[in-house]
Each structure stands twice: as C-alpha cells, then as structure tokens.
Amino acid sequence: MMIRRMPWWLAGILMALLVLFTFSTFGANRPFGASTYVPYFAGILFDLSPEKYPYLKEVHFAGAWEGVMLLGALTGGFLTSVFVTKSFRLSIMPTGWKKYKNSSVISRLVWSFVSGFFLIIGARLAGGCTSGHFLSGMAQTAVSSMIFGGVVLLSVIITGKIFYKSEANDV
C-alpha cells in the first residue's frame, strides 16, 4: 500500500537538502526563492517594457529563474496530487474556510483575490517570502530574515485570532 502523506520530519529533511542543493556550486549557486516570479510574469502578461519600469530590470534574472523553477513546481505538484496523494480535484472552497469562516463561495473568492494581491505586495516590500526569507534567509542566519520571520509569525497568529471563528461550524 502506498503511503499518502509524508511526515513533517521527512519533509523538513528533504527541504533542507533541496535548499542546500540550490545554494551549492554544483546545483544552482543561489538561494531558493519563490515570489520574484510574480512581478516578472506581470511584466510579461501586461507587456511592460523593462526600459520604462526599472523594477523589471532589477528582477530580470531572479524572475526568470523562479519562473522556470515554478513550472517545475507546478509539474511536481500536479503529478504528486494525481498519482501519489490522489488529492487532485477541482474545488473552490477549502474545508477549513467552511469550518472556521463561512460557506459563501463569493466571500472565499473575494478574500482570495484581495489576500493574493497583498501577499505579493508584502513579499516584494520585504524582498522575499517564506522561501526566500524563512528557508534561505534564516539558514544563512541573515538578520533581515529574522526580523521578517518574527513580524510574519506575529501577524499570522494575530490575523488567525481575529479573522476566523474560534468554534467550528458544522460542515
């Protein structure tokens, strides 16, 4: 029988190895990151000229690198969800949202759009996200990443307390 879930410790060990491989001279010789591809793709989709928008010049290489990496992540996620975890299916409403927020699809989609928008603004302001700051940054003992880590941890938990109900709805 196939085991359908990887334990957290195995995932942690494998993730550490992946980060180390990405850093290594025989791997990619750079940190692992995952939010720079978003403005890069926005530049492509809206056909913005890097000559006019200096930020696109700044992210020219990192954005492309993470763009290719992202295609790999989509492929890996798709194959695993279809063949290993068997969790692939089209869905709009997370179980947890129904349980701790509400059962309105419109509410979930509006909040998804708005939080997706600000997620990227926040990540770009800070110069990194969970991958770039938490994983890669803290592994380098970077002070910037520890500040980011502390602020994010606090803001995640406060939001969780305010935004969601403490008691579950019956699903």
Partner 1 sequence: MMFDRILNMFTTVSNESHGSLFVVFAIGLVFGVIIQYSRVDKFEKIAGFAMLRDTVVPKMLFLAIGLAAVGLYFMVEAGYASYHPKPIILGGLIIGGTIFGVSMAILGKCPGTGPVSIAEGRIDVLVGAIGGIFGGLVFTVYFDFFKKIMGESLGKTTLITYFQGHENLVVLIFGIVLIAVSIVIPLRQEFDEVDLKQLEEI
Within positions 64 to 93, which residues make up the interface with partner 1, using CB under 8 A? 64-65, 67-81, 84-93
C-alpha 54/C-alpha 35 separation (Å) is: 18
C-alpha 93/C-alpha 109 separation (Å) is: 9
Within positions 15 to 54, which residues make up the interface with partner 1, using CB under 8 A? 15-16, 18-32, 34-35, 37-48, 53-54
Asked whether position 1 contacts partner 1 by CB under 8 A, the answer is yes
Asked whether position 102 contacts partner 1 by CB under 8 A, the answer is no
| Residue 127: both structure tokens together | 């110069």
Q: Are 23 and 142 in contact (CB under 8 A)?
A: no
Asked whether position 125 contacts partner 1 by CB under 8 A, the answer is yes
The neighbour count for residue 19, using CB atoms within 10 Å, is 17
| Residue 156: both structure tokens together | 């995640």
Least distance (Å) from partner 1 to the CB of residue 71?
6
Within positions 131 to 170, which residues make up the interface with partner 1, using CB under 8 A? 131-148, 150-161, 163-164, 166
